[in-house]
Amino acid sequence: MADAQTDPKVGIVMGSQSDWPTMKEAAAVLDELGVPYEARIVSAHRTPDRLWDYGRTAAGRGLQVIVAGAGGAAHLPGMLASKTRVPVIGVPVQTRALGGVDSLYSIVQMPRGFPVATMAIGGAGALNGGLMAAQIVALGDPGLGARIDAWRAALSASIPEAPVDD
Ligand code: RP5
């Protein structure tokens, strides 16, 4: 999975290495669509200075959107949104203790003025976060727009009309 990509348009960030199995679903769909991204561990609590630097430099480095995943007291997406105008998509990572509802509530209830676009809990949320990021980048990239249209058409075509027995 890519990370040595030059000129990343999407930043995938997560609070911990333990979030990567979830967040790599965002990376996988960006790979599939040919969108350059970087993946970084940036913890609101354990590496606050790294978080501040990431948010402070994001727009200047050319990032167009950030997909931020965290679990539990999931402050990373909201704190990043407070530090950069680059749109932040939040992914609530599933937790053992509370199933990810804790992550969801931590991410979704932002105060007026600092939005975070919040996805579903877990892998589906991470994949959708990657797709949403690609769709944002595609606003200025017609070739990518065409690849997303083809991706969606292939998904539709893969759905059978009638159910079958297992
Ligand atoms: C959060 O705490 C991370 O986003 C992660 O989901 C959760 C647990 O982290 P680890 O204890 O597994 O590093 O900051």
What structural domains and CATH numbers belong to the chain? 10-143 (3.40.50.1970)
Residue among 11, 33, 154 nearest 91 (CA): 11
DSSP 46-59: T-HHHHHHHHHHTT
Closest ligand 1 atom, CA of 43?
14
Q: Whose CA is nearest to atom 6 of ligand 1?
A: 71
Query: Residue 3 Cα, ligand 1 centroid: separation in angstroms?
Result: 21
Q: For the chain, what is the mean pLDDT?
A: 96
CB of 68 within 6 A of ligand 1: the answer is: no
- Annotated binding-site residue? 149: no
Given this model, what pLDDT does residue 2 score?
Answer: 47
Given this model, what pLDDT does residue 4 score?
Answer: 53
Given this model, what pLDDT does residue 5 score?
Answer: 75
Q: Give me the percent of the chain exceeding a pLDDT of 90.
A: 96
Closest ligand 1 atom, CA of 19?
6
What is the arithmetic mean of pLDDT over 32-54? 98
Name 91's bridge partners.
69
Q: Whose CA is nearest to atom 7 of ligand 1?
A: 71
Query: Residue 23 Cα, ligand 1 centroid: separation in angstroms?
Result: 12
What is the arithmetic mean of pLDDT over 25-54? 98
Q: d(Cα 65, Cα 71) in Å, to the nearest integer?
A: 20
Sorted by sequence, the CB contacts under 8 Å of residue 25 that are 6+ apart come out as: 123, 126, 127, 130
Given this model, what pLDDT does residue 28 score?
Answer: 98
- pTM here is 0.96
CB of 43 within 6 A of ligand 1: the answer is: yes
Backbone φ and ψ of 27, nearest 5°? -60, -40
In which band, very low, low, confident or very high, does the pLDDT at 128 lie, cut at 50, 70 and 90? very high
In which band, very low, low, confident or very high, does the pLDDT at 6 lie, cut at 50, 70 and 90? confident
- Annotated binding-site residue? 16: yes
What is the arithmetic mean of pLDDT over 97-107? 98
pLDDT tens per residue across span 58-94 = 999 999 999 999 999 999 999 999 999 999 999 999 9
pLDDT above 70: residue 3: no
CB of 25 within 6 A of ligand 1: the answer is: no
